[in-house]
Every structure is written in structure tokens, then in C-alpha cells.
């Protein structure tokens, strides 16, 4: 009889333990479900102006209603949100699908239809061992006539569009500058659509792509085209197209 009583008590204790464990597990699961996701703040900018903010969970897509009002612009167009104020293409965010893991500031690329006239003079500045950039020697002390051979001149095709056609050779390095001075220089990171079989990033003193030297990988006759917005230099764009083999040979 005592044996049966012992067995009965053991079973009862076991059932109690199972019930307690089950209760703790359920309680833990409930707490996990109740724990709120970390909420992030996304800040939207137009140059130095804060347009507003939006909240979103980690790895969640923003609701369009949270930011679409920030994309409206009069007399112009909106060209996307970027994580860099200089609108580097690799930093562009597609808010319809991209998510965030930390608080983030986004910069809007707002392009107005009417921009101020750019009266600056733009030049290529660089170095070469066999081409005309050897004379240039990173914007050395040259005569006005010599400087003119390196100037990007207005094309007449669009507002503030300048272009230069020049022979460049493997190993040449260059950047684009205004008024034969180095403030506001434009290097590798400012070019769009670069062909990496023809051009590469050669670095520079600043360590930033936007002011890094462009290095030529293939000899050729190239046309460099610059479009500027004096009111917002972050919207300045540069392209370079290879037309043919060097024509000076």
C-alpha cells in the first residue's frame, strides 16, 4: 500500500513539474511576441533643409505614405533618395523595397528646370608621359593660350553643359577643375557610367572617390562632358566617352 502511495505522489510531482515548465515556456513565448521591434528614424533632406522624418522597424520597408509628400518639387523633378549628399549612385535607395538596419539620413536629388548660368571656366588637369597632359602637369603655371587647349567649352546643347575632346593614353591621370584652381575639383566619383575596361580609380590625397584621380587604361580619343548646377554642385555630372583611337598619332 505504501508503495502505491509513493508512486502516486511521484506521478503527481512529475505532472506538476511538467505543468510549471509548460507555463514558463508559454510565458516566455508570450513575452517574445509582446517585445516590440526596434524602431528606426529615417530623416529626409533637401540639401541642408530637413523635410521631415519617418519611423520604420528594422529590416522593414517604409510605407509610401510616410515619405511621398517629401518628393514633391515645383518647376522641376525628383530623381531619388541617396545616403550621400553628393548623390553617389551606389548610395541610392529604392524605398519601395530597400530596408534599414539603423537610423539613416537620406538626401533628395531635386532638379529644377531653371538653373543659374555657370560663368566659370572648366579644365582637365592631369599628367601624362606621352600625351598633352604632360604639359598640363596638374594645372601647372601655363599661358592663357596653353590653358585653352585643356578647357571644356560650352556645347550649346543644354544649360551649363561643357565638353572637351582630347587624346588620352594608358597611365594618364586626371580630374576636372574650374578656373585653374583646385577648390571644388571633380574626380572619379563624380563620373557616371564609367567603362571599367577604359578607366579606373587611381586614388588621391583626400581618400574620397569624388576627388580621386581617374586613370586611363586604354589609349583613345575621348570626349568629356560636364553639366553643372551652380546652386547645388552635388548635382554636377560628368561623363567620358571613347570616340576612337588617338587621332594625334
| pLDDT at position 66 | 93
Mean pLDDT per block of 10 residues along the chain (249 residues) reads 48 49 50 65 91 93 93 84 86 93 92 86 97 97 97 94 98 98 93 94 83 96 96 88 91
Query: Concatenated DSSP letters for the chain?
Result: -HHHHHHHHHHHHHHHHHHHHHHHHHHHHHHHHHSPPPEEEEEEEETTEEEEEEEEETT-PPPGGGTGGGG--TTEEEEEEESSTT--GGGEE-TTT---SS-EEEEEEEEES--------EEEEEE-SSSTHHHHTTT-S--HHHHHTTEEEE-SSSTTEEEEEEEE-TT-EEEEEETTEEEEEE-GGGBSS--TTTEEE---SS--GGGSPEEE-S-EEEEEEEE--TT-GGG-EEEEEEEES-S--
Residue 190's Cβ-side half-sphere holds a number of Cα atoms within 13 Å equal to: 24
Q: Cβ neighbours of residue 24 under 8 Å, at least 6 residues apart?
A: none
161-168/220-227 β-pairing: antiparallel
| pLDDT at position 204 | 78
What domains does the chain contain, in order, with CATH numbers? 39-112 (2.60.40.4270), 122-244 (2.60.40.3620)
76-82/92-93 β-pairing: antiparallel
Amino acid at each position: 500500500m505504501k508503495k502505491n502511495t509513493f508512486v502516486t505522489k511521484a506521478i503527481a510531482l512529475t505532472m506538476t513539474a511538467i505543468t510549471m515548465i509548460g507555463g514558463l515556456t508559454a510565458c516566455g513565448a508570450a513575452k517574445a511576441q509582446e517585445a516590440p521591434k526596434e524602431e528606426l528614424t529615417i530623416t529626409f533632406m533637401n540639401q541642408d533643409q530637413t523635410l521631415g522624418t519617418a519611423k520604420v522597424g528594422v529590416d522593414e520597408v517604409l510605407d509610401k505614405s510616410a515619405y511621398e509628400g517629401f518628393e514633391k518639387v515645383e518647376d522641376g523633378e525628383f530623381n531619388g533618395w541617396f545616403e550621400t549628399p553628393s548623390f553617389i549612385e551606389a548610395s541610392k535607395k529604392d524605398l519601395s523595397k530597400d530596408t534599414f538596419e539603423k537610423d539613416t539620413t537620406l538626401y533628395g536629388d531635386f532638379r529644377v528646370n531653371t538653373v543659374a548660368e555657370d560663368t566659370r571656366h572648366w579644365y582637365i588637369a592631369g599628367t601624362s608621359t606621352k600625351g598633352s597632359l604632360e604639359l598640363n602637369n596638374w594645372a601647372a603655371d601655363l599661358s592663357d593660350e596653353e590653358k585653352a587647349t585643356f578647357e571644356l567649352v560650352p556645347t550649346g546643347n543644354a544649360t551649363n553643359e561643357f565638353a572637351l575632346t582630347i587624346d588620352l593614353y594608358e597611365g594618364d591621370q586626371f580630374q576636372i577643375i574650374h578656373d585653374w584652381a583646385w577648390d571644388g575639383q571633380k574626380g572619379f566619383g563624380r563620373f557616371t557610367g564609367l567603362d571599367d575596361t577604359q578607366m579606373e580609380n587611381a586614388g588621391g590625397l583626400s581618400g574620397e572617390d569624388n576627388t580621386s584621380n581617374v586613370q586611363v587604361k586604354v589609349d583613345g580619343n575621348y570626349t568629356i562632358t560636364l553639366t553643372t548646377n551652380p546652386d547645388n554642385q552635388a548635382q554636377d555630372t560628368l561623363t567620358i566617352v571613347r570616340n576612337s583611337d588617338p587621332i594625334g598619332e
